[in-house]
Amino acid sequence: SGGLLAYADSHSDDNKSIIEQSPKEPQKKKVVVLGTGWAGTSFLKDLDLKSYDVQVVSPRNYFAFTPLLPSVTCGRVEARSIVEPVRNIIKKRSGEIQFWEAECLKIDPANKKVICCSNVEENAARNDKFSLEYDYLVIAVGAQVNTFNTPGVFEHCHFLKEIEDAQRIRRTVIDCFEKAVLPGMTEEERKTNLHFVIVGGGPTGVEFAADLHDFVHEDLVKIYPLVKDLVKITVIQSGDHILNMFDKRISSFAEQKFQRDGIEVLTGCRVIRVSDKLINVKMKSTGEDISIPHGIVVWSTGLGTRPLLRDFMQQIGQGNRRILATDEWLRVEGCEDVYALGDCATIDQRKIMEDISSIFKAADKDDSGFLTIEEFQDVVEDIIIRYPQVELYLKSKHFSEVTDLLKDSEGNDRDAVTIEGFELALSHVDSKMKSLPATAQVAAQQGAYLSRCFNIKEKGKHDPEGPLRFRGPGRHEFRPFRYKHFVQFVALGGEQVAAELPGDRVSMGRSTQWLWYSVYARTAFHTKMD
Ligand code: FAD
Ligand code: MG
Ligand code: MG
Ligand code: MG
Ligand code: MG
């Protein structure tokens, strides 16, 4: 299948970094990694330190195991048990990685350097800035919360992104109880203090609500028995269902569990303002505005792009995008030698229809203007590697349904495929494209993938044929990144867990936290790609 993969790159010429290799480069290439979250640490885990000089920049000198962060809010899990110091991670590697506890303030792709600052918050006037040069830059800075410019959210809501957030939420929840039992409070005032509102019915919001419910009903009611009947937990969701990114069975399982637990779920409802004591929402169906008294609001919806990347996107011509785009090799579009992975970026998946005529030309080896059925089948096998949507499409269809499209108007089998037939056969494939979720699993797999590409790259062409290598002599050395979905859990409280498994399977029911934890840790770090 020679040369088939070359067509896809006719649109871009920025592949040189991967293609051109200097065989006897005496100096190690300088790699700068921004961020020590799921993506960054997973990239560092297996990177070949004999080939690279690595510097890591992050304002936090630890990695946080975010799936258990909601459980920290309720003291079920200790904060220190879900963090791992970066220096420990680095120590485990033989070879040197330098770590700088600092925030990257600016990326300067024209001069291939980044500008960092070690005390952004403490004293901006002091000169603690330094710059680092790179040959390759790996951006893994994650996302920040998105308030959608809703007034009052920054001032009056809690977020749940960092360890400190979880600890602050825990203190505030207990404070709410302390306030509610003070003498001289009216019953209304006590109820207001004990109304816990969560905005966002995604996995994080749902898990927090479930943990909070358990915390309140297992622990706090014993300490504050006077007010135990005044507690209320409400989840506000703009869509029609909570957990609507999961299988319907999971979302209704969760809704039923919440109903039994007395957790109120307000769906079809948009937050328009938050103040010290009130949260105002608009019901989408009726247009009605309601104002709800609260003790605490936890804002757990929306991902936004960090200012650092906004500025970078302006510089490289991605200024009108919402989120930084890479190609399927995780290379930032429009910027040489810069890679981005995890929550801070999205893969701009190439549409097959944009390349359809060059694909056809490459497959039609004798330039006859037709493909034989065998040539057609060959080319489909090849394009599956380049365009993951083809595989999703074939999974949803039977292969014969695709070849059925190759029948002529009388229903007779064609013995050859014209460009029109080829286009028709593949015309629905692109509708199967979907962007990857912002999860630890995706971030960790992308980190592992990228370090493998980096390791192969510097070893040169004599490297044995690895699974990442292409079969044909295309312009790309590596297969594009491919996400493998193993399992995603949502803990619903009371040891109830819902899991979305590969192949449209779901599993719901009782489990234990430690089992969930151990399975999670194994699957999220799973790096096998073939
Ligand atoms: P992050 O892990 O957020 O890491 C970003 C890193 O960049 C951090 O080290 C940060 O300090 C650093 N950084 C930020 N700004 C700068 C800068 N200017 N310069 C240098 N460094 C910088 N996913 C799941 O798959 N399953 C779950 O159960 C799950 N539960 C979650 C629960 C909660 C409460 C949260 C918040 C997230 C959860 N996620 C879960 C999502 C998962 O945590 C993210 O998808 C994942 O962390 C993304 O990894 P990342 O490396 O891209 O970003
Ligand atoms: Mg990271
Ligand atoms: Mg993280
Ligand atoms: Mg992403
Ligand atoms: Mg032919």
CB atoms within 10 A of CB 107: 25
Average pLDDT over residues 179-200: 96
Instruction: Using the atom order of ligand 1, give the atom closest to the CA of residue 343.
Output: 52
Instruction: Using the atom order of ligand 1, give the atom closest to the CA of residue 524.
Output: 25
For residue 368, what pLDDT is reported? 87
55, 62 Cβ separation under 8 angstroms: no
465: tokens are 């044929």
13 CA from centroid of ligand 4 (Å): 23
For residue 126, what pLDDT is reported? 63
Instruction: Using the atom order of ligand 1, give the atom closest to the CA of residue 447.
Output: 51
Helix (H, G, I), strand (E, B) or coil at 55: strand
User: Does position 521 have pLDDT exceeding 90, yes or no?
Assistant: no
ipTM for the predicted complex comes to: 0.97
63, 37 Cβ separation under 8 angstroms: yes
* pLDDT greater at residue 193 or residue 393: 193
* pLDDT greater at residue 85 or residue 515: 85
Q: Is 36 in the pocket of ligand 1 (CB under 6 A)?
A: yes
DSSP labels, 446-485:
HHHHHHHHHHHHHH-TTS---TTB-SS--S-SBPPP----
User: Does position 21 have pLDDT exceeding 50, yes or no?
Assistant: no
435: tokens are 């962007």
User: Does position 475 have pLDDT exceeding 60, yes or no?
Assistant: no
- The protein residue whose alpha carbon is closest to atom 30 in ligand 1 is 67
For residue 519, what pLDDT is reported? 54
39 CA from centroid of ligand 2 (Å): 4
Question: Where residue 506 falls among pLDDT bands split at 50, 70, 90?
Answer: low
Q: Is 58 in the pocket of ligand 1 (CB under 6 A)?
A: yes
User: Does position 274 have pLDDT exceeding 70, yes or no?
Assistant: yes
- The protein residue whose alpha carbon is closest to atom 36 in ligand 1 is 161
For residue 378, what pLDDT is reported? 82
141 CA from centroid of ligand 2 (Å): 5
Distance (Å, whole) CA 316 – CA 371 = 40
66 CA from centroid of ligand 3 (Å): 6
Instruction: Using the atom order of ligand 1, give the atom closest to the CA of residue 439.
Output: 45
Q: Is 104 in the pocket of ligand 1 (CB under 6 A)?
A: yes
pLDDT digits over 166-180, tens only? 999 999 999 999 999
User: Does position 466 have pLDDT exceeding 50, yes or no?
Assistant: no
Q: Is 339 in the pocket of ligand 1 (CB under 6 A)?
A: no
**Average of per-residue pLDDT values in the chain:** 83
Residues 6+ apart with CB under 8 A from 114: 32, 34, 57, 104, 106, 107, 108, 131, 132, 134, 137
Average pLDDT over residues 289-312: 96
> Please, which residues have CB less than 5 A from ligand 2, an ion?
35, 37, 39-40, 140
362 CA from centroid of ligand 5 (Å): 10
Q: Is 163 in the pocket of ligand 1 (CB under 6 A)?
A: no
User: Does position 2 have pLDDT exceeding 70, yes or no?
Assistant: no
120, 105 Cβ separation under 8 angstroms: yes
Among 349, 348, 402, CA closest to 373: 402
Give the pTM.
Answer: 0.84
Lowest average pLDDT, out of 136-150, 356-370, 390-404, goes to 390-404
Helix (H, G, I), strand (E, B) or coil at 308: helix
- The protein residue whose alpha carbon is closest to atom 6 in ligand 1 is 35
For residue 230, what pLDDT is reported? 96
124 CA from centroid of ligand 3 (Å): 26
**Checking DSSP bridges between strand 62-64 and strand 83-85, what pairing results, if any?**
antiparallel
Lowest average pLDDT, out of 149-153, 274-278, 455-459, goes to 455-459
Q: Is 200 in the pocket of ligand 1 (CB under 6 A)?
A: no
Alpha carbon separation from 441 to 51, 94, 323, 390, 486 (Å, rounded): 27, 26, 19, 22, 9
For residue 502, what pLDDT is reported? 59
For residue 503, what pLDDT is reported? 60
Helix (H, G, I), strand (E, B) or coil at 386: helix
- The protein residue whose alpha carbon is closest to atom 41 in ligand 1 is 439
Question: Where residue 398 falls among pLDDT bands split at 50, 70, 90?
Answer: low
For residue 124, what pLDDT is reported? 57
For residue 139, what pLDDT is reported? 98
Instruction: Using the atom order of ligand 1, give the atom closest to the CA of residue 208.
Output: 34
Lowest average pLDDT, out of 364-368, 423-427, 493-497, goes to 493-497
For residue 297, what pLDDT is reported? 98
Question: Where residue 381 falls among pLDDT bands split at 50, 70, 90?
Answer: confident
Q: Which of 41, 45, 58, 74 to probe ligand 1 with, by most ligand atoms within 8 A of CB?
A: 58
For residue 212, what pLDDT is reported? 94
Instruction: Using the atom order of ligand 1, give the atom closest to the CA of residue 59.
Output: 11
Q: Is 69 in the pocket of ligand 1 (CB under 6 A)?
A: yes
- The protein residue whose alpha carbon is closest to atom 45 in ligand 1 is 439
Among 306, 298, 267, 294, CA closest to 283: 267
Among 481, 335, 457, 518, CA closest to 39: 481
For residue 508, what pLDDT is reported? 66
Q: Is 106 in the pocket of ligand 1 (CB under 6 A)?
A: no
- The protein residue whose alpha carbon is closest to atom 37 in ligand 1 is 66
For helices 356-363 and 373-386, the axis angle rounded to 10 degrees is: 130
Instruction: Using the atom order of ligand 1, give the atom closest to the CA of residue 438.
Output: 45
339, 332 Cβ separation under 8 angstroms: yes
pLDDT digits over 315-339, tens only? 999 999 999 999 989 999 999 999 9
**Checking DSSP bridges between strand 269-274 and strand 505-510, what pairing results, if any?**
unpaired
pLDDT digits over 192-218, tens only? 999 999 999 999 999 999 999 999 999
Average pLDDT over residues 277-286: 95
Q: What's the chain's Rg over C-alpha atoms?
A: 26
Q: Which of 41, 66, 87, 445 to probe ligand 1 with, by most ligand atoms within 8 A of CB?
A: 66
74, 214 Cβ separation under 8 angstroms: yes
115: tokens are 């500008």
As a whole-number percent, the residues of the chain with pLDDT over 70 amount to 80
Enclosing H/E stretch for 518: helix 513-524
* pLDDT greater at residue 255 or residue 527: 255
For residue 443, what pLDDT is reported? 95
For residue 15, what pLDDT is reported? 42
Q: Which of 15-29, 78-92, 276-290 ranks highest by mean pLDDT?
A: 276-290
167 CA from centroid of ligand 4 (Å): 27
Question: Where residue 18 falls among pLDDT bands split at 50, 70, 90?
Answer: very low
Instruction: Using the atom order of ligand 1, give the atom closest to the CA of residue 105.
Output: 18
* pLDDT greater at residue 228 or residue 316: 316
Average pLDDT over residues 265-277: 96
246, 255 Cβ separation under 8 angstroms: no
Instruction: Using the atom order of ligand 1, give the atom closest to the CA of residue 63.
Output: 9
Contacts 24+ apart (CB under 8 A), 476-479: 476/5, 476/9, 476/15, 476/18, 476/329, 477/18, 477/19, 477/453, 478/18, 478/329, 478/453, 479/385, 479/529
pLDDT digits over 345-378, tens only? 999 988 888 888 888 888 888 888 888 878 887 8
pLDDT digits over 107-130, tens only? 999 999 999 999 766 655 666 899
Residue 199, phi then psi, degrees to nearest 5: -100, 120
